Amino acid sequence: MALARALVLKPKIMLFDEPLSNLDPKLRIQTRSEIKRVQQMLGITTIYVTHDQTEALSLSDRVAVMNHGKIAQLGPPEEVYNHPASPFVSDFIGNANFLDAVVDEVTAGHMVVLINGFSFSVPLDRCEPNLEPDARALVSVKPEAIELVPPAAVAQAFHAGPRGVVELSSFSGPATEYKVTFGDAYLTVSTPNIRGRTVVYRAGSEVGLEFDPSSFRVYPA
């Protein structure tokens, strides 16, 4: 109703300030889709303020992430999500894991970092500049960028890479979220639930960890 009243005035710009915060989850999704449909149909410039990252990413053409009243990053949602400019943005958009690392070497196209004794070669465009060998670094990894390897493969030594122990699992329908210890780190791992192909890992299971270094973001520590 409030949106309809505003549209009657034929505004050149609309401002939404947490408009869906009091709605239940299902109605929030429906209303979010309707807001985007109306905005695209009428072509009205719209500023939408929200603390909900899903709303921010799904509704926007450009996202401005604010930190203490200043813009921490501004860009298309895909760019902000996949190429966060700082640890703050990485954590705010995407619930990232952070791992302590040491830079081992820097080559023409990659930076090799050591995490818990394991070596990872990260494309340079995923790394902040001016990181030199032996420098301490902070590596950001999205929960969906980590794959769990079944305990049987770990037990039979088919997986020689990093390993962890499942501490907690939470089923949410489309995905299952795991909390996994990896050395001193406590990882969040999100695994899509695909019918007939999903392995459920119980608390206490030792699992292998498959990381995709091309999804890392490497920052100075």
Task: In whole angstroms, give the CA distance from residue 17 to residue 51.
Answer: 10
Question: What's the rounded Cα separation, in Å, for the pair 94 and 73?
Answer: 14
* Reported pTM: 0.84
pLDDT at 5 over 80: no
Amino acid residing at 60: S
Q: What is the pLDDT of residues 200-221, one digit of tens each?
A: 888 999 999 999 999 999 999 9
Residues 45 and 142 in one domain: no
Please tell me whether residues 52 and 128 are part of one structural domain: no
Whether residue 121 is found in the same domain as residue 169:
yes
| pLDDT value of position 35 | 86
CA dist 41 and 10 (Å) reads 13
Residues 67 and 105 in one domain: no
From the list 50, 42, 47, the residue with the least C-alpha distance to 14 is 47
Q: Are residues 135 and 122 in the same domain?
A: yes
Q: How far is CA 170 from its chain centroid?
A: 18
User: Are residues 86 and 16 part of one domain?
Assistant: yes
Q: What is the pLDDT of residues 32-46, one digit of tens each?
A: 898 888 888 888 899
- Please tell me the distance from the alpha carbon of residue 210 to that of residue 48, in angstroms, as a whole number: 37
Q: How many domains in the chain?
A: 2
- Residues 153-194: pLDDT tens digits? 665 655 568 999 999 999 888 899 999 999 999 999 999 988
In terms of average pLDDT, the best of 7-11, 22-26, 129-133 is 129-133
Q: How confident is the model at residue 74 (pLDDT cuts 50, 70, 90)?
A: very high
Considering the domain architecture, whether residues 87 and 163 belong to the same structural domain is answered as no
pLDDT of residue 188: 96
Query: Are residue 16 and residue 89 in the same domain, yes or no?
Result: yes
Percent of the chain with pLDDT over 90: 61
List the beta bridge partners of residue 37.
none
Looking at residue 63, its pLDDT comes to 96
The continuous run of DSSP H or E covering 41 comes out as helix 25-42
Q: Which of 74, 94, 114 is the last residue of a domain?
A: 94
Q: What is the CATH number of the domain that holds 201?
A: 2.40.50.100
Which domain, by its residues, includes 173? Answer: 97-220
Domain harbouring 1, CATH code: 3.40.50.300
The residue-averaged pLDDT of 111-130 equals: 95
Q: What is the pLDDT of residue 159?
A: 56
Together in a domain, 64 and 170: no
Residues 90 and 105 in one domain: no
Are the C-beta atoms of residues 93 and 57 closer than 8 Å to each other?
yes
Asked if 89 and 113 sit in the same domain, the reply is no
